[in-house]
Homo-oligomer: A and B are copies of this chain.
């Protein structure tokens, strides 16, 4: 028997939003979800119009997330999971309410606005018994997962260096007043104290630790807000020291003309070097020290990796991209939730970023902020 689709609600993501649409593409692609309820906007008319567009029944379009969780909890066909796609400051209260209502959570990053909230949320997740997924979508690309396995099986030897960067250009100038995406991301009340750092630096950090298996020890950072009047950083320079002696650099920027969505990582061990760039996601470079050639591993459904192959939908040479990787994460969560229906666990839990990843990301943000305020002093992560 085919498992029924997961019944999904959404908070945020109404007309004019960006990431909500991405989550919906991701939920639809593999047909494992059905979007049945929403509190899509804090403005009632936008919420209503958005729900209508999305074929959500009028009675399941709610004016608030509290109302949604309450009403849905009383339905036999109520939502099993909620996607939280609001600005950062709402992640905590919405996730808390969902978890307390026993609803599984798929939350956008960064997990909360502050480290304190993240740690509090970790306790709530633990008590709730619900599943909590954090959409660090970049780590769901097949070749990123393959890279993680390469590191694990020793293809690189001992890792010495982690060079990660994530430059964009879209905030090079002060944005127009009606640019909603720019507005909340540069408003510390909604995004938190970290600007570029929280928005994309946290992705870079997660990718680096996900692939390398390394644990960050301390950072030395220099944050800048280049655009006049900007209240949060738009450029992050950081040096990193990992436990065990590896070192690294992290650069992320939103004022780098010519850079689109330039997440890119390079790892160097004593046996080989590896490179992956998000804008060319179907290629993974690996150069062994011995030998005189570089290698490009293709995104190939014959790869010797179950976890990589399960995220591949079409043969090599047919490019898959950002939405496919995001969808893979949603499908992994669906597998976990289907298992959970039966009281079982699922091996993909180990591959889905959860609340621990979220807390770690906030510790990274916190340490970077403190180091930068202390003129770049090497600052250990709080634990």
Contacts and interface: CB of A to CB of B under 8 A. Distances in A.
A235 B161 contact: yes
A294 interface: yes
A239 interface: yes
A135 B220 CA distance: 34
Interface string A253-293: 10111111110001011111111001111100111110011
Contact of A261 (B29, B274, B317): B317
Given A28-B28, A29-B29, A319-B321, A273 B259 contact: yes
B322 A261 contact: no
A170 B378 CA distance: 30
A161 B289 CA distance: 32
Nearest to A157: B257
Contact of A257 (B279, B289, B375): B289
Interface in A220-267: 220, 222, 224, 226, 235, 237, 239, 241, 247-249, 251, 253, 255-262, 266
Contacts of A278: 317, 319
A296 interface: yes
Contact of A375 (B21, B287, B378): B378
Contacts of A318: 260-261, 321-323
A295 B294 contact: yes
Nearest to A316: B260
Interface size range of chain A in the complex: 35 or more
Number of copies: 4
Contacts of A167: 268
A217 interface: no
A28 B313 CA distance: 14
A2 interface: yes
B52 A163 contact: no
Given A28-B29, A220-B220, A319-B319, A257 B235 contact: no
A168 to B, nearest CB: 7
A259 B257 CA distance: 26
A287 B237 contact: no
A237 B239 contact: yes
A279 to B, nearest CB: 6
Contacts of A320: 321-323
A101 interface: no
Given A289-B172, A294-B295, A319-B279, A161 B268 contact: no
A190 interface: no
Interface string A19-33: 001101100110100
A1 interface: yes
A314 interface: yes
A258 B273 contact: yes
A82 to B, nearest CB: 19
A68 to B, nearest CB: 20
A332 interface: no
A289 B289 CA distance: 23
Given A226-B270, A292-B300, 7 more contacts: A172-B270, A220-B376, A237-B239, A261-B317, A313-B323, A318-B322, A320-B323
Interface of A: 1-2, 5, 21-22, 24-25, 28-29, 31, 52-55, 160-161, 163, 165, 167-170, 172-173, 220, 222, 224, 226, 235, 237, 239, 241, 247-249, 251, 253, 255-262, 266, 268-275, 278-282, 285-289, 292-298, 300, 302-303, 313-324, 375-378
